[in-house]
Amino acid sequence: MATSKAAPARKPLILVSNDDGITAPGIRNLIEVASRVGDVVVVAPDGPQSGMGHAITIGNTLRLRPVDIFEPGIRAYECSGTPADCVKLAKREVLGGQAPDLVVSGINHGSNSSISVLYSGTMSAALEAGIEGIPAIGFSLCDYGHDADFSHTLPHIEHVIRQAITHGIPAGVTLNVNFPPIGRGPIKGIKVCRQARAKWQEEFDKRFDPRGQEYYWMVGKFVNMDRGEDTDEWALANGYASLVPCTYDLTAYAAMPTLNAEWDLPHATHA
């Protein structure tokens, strides 16, 4: 399979983004790890963008401001847009059209395993890079706390980044890596997994504002319908980090012959 490999001659250029915002502890940890491997440029949202999915800003303006909150030598910018906007702006404006060797996103405060990949701003930054043909990885910790402890994930993240630089990532593929929280003990290993068949079952907490008008808070419960032992959910529940190769080609190929056989669709009368 063709792989998109980073050039080995010089220090790799690594672009870092996230969805929790540029001041989140998770991105600070990721920058520290990425700096051990390559030259780091950061473009991340200026505020929380969790749950933004693959949103982009098309009906509004975008701001990009340099920030000086990391170690010396780290070029960093905060962006008013979504995680996908950050990657687009980074490539075109910050890097002047030069593609980085690798894009890493995270470390997310909270799980992006299974169906959460679709809602994830962290993964949308990585997938946006993937669409551009750039090797990219999203990292997430299954702990939503602002004060989450990332320490047990850092050697594994460095290892995965080095593997990506050395071996490349298969063309058209973006990696979604999730880690169990530190309380579960040492990480047993990193498993290549498929996305578990699961969903968020929403409940809505209905309240009334001071003017008597109703409003809702969305609250969700994660429901795993998948008993497979080759899924990300199984790996995380059993002490492993999960690594799911993701595609941005949503075509359900297996359904194409079914639809052609069962459905009556109009054909060309004058093709």
Q: Is 221 in the site for a copy of itself (CB under 8 A)?
A: no
Show the tokens assigned to 92: 């075109």
17 vs 176, beta carbon nearer a copy of itself: 176
Which span (8-16, 29-37, 125-133, 135-143) binds a copy of itself, by CB under 8 A? Answer: 125-133
Backbone φ and ψ for 172, nearest 5 degrees, come out as 80, 10
Q: Which residue has the tokens 């999915």?
A: 53
Show the tokens assigned to 74: 């780290």
- Helix (H) / strand (E) containing 179: strand 174-179
Q: Is 216 in the site for a copy of itself (CB under 8 A)?
A: yes
- Can you say whether the dihedral through the CA atoms of 177, 183, 184, 187 is positive or negative? positive
The SS3 of residue 165 is helix
Q: Is 211 in the site for a copy of itself (CB under 8 A)?
A: no
Q: Is 158 in the site for a copy of itself (CB under 8 A)?
A: no
Show the tokens assigned to 270: 């004058």
Tell which positions 42-81 bind a copy of itself, by CB under 8 A: 48, 50-59, 61-64
Q: Which of 42, 43, 127, 142 binds a copy of itself (CB under 8 A)?
A: 127
Q: Is 271 in the site for a copy of itself (CB under 8 A)?
A: yes
Q: Is 253 in the site for a copy of itself (CB under 8 A)?
A: yes
7 vs 254, beta carbon nearer a copy of itself: 254
For helices 154-167 and 25-37, the axis angle rounded to 10 degrees is: 50
* Number of residues located near a copy of itself, criterion CB under 8 A: 88
Q: Is 163 in the site for a copy of itself (CB under 8 A)?
A: yes
Residue 107: asked if its preceding bond is cis (omega within 30°), the reply is: yes
Which span (8-16, 26-34, 101-109, 126-134) binds a copy of itself, by CB under 8 A? Answer: 126-134
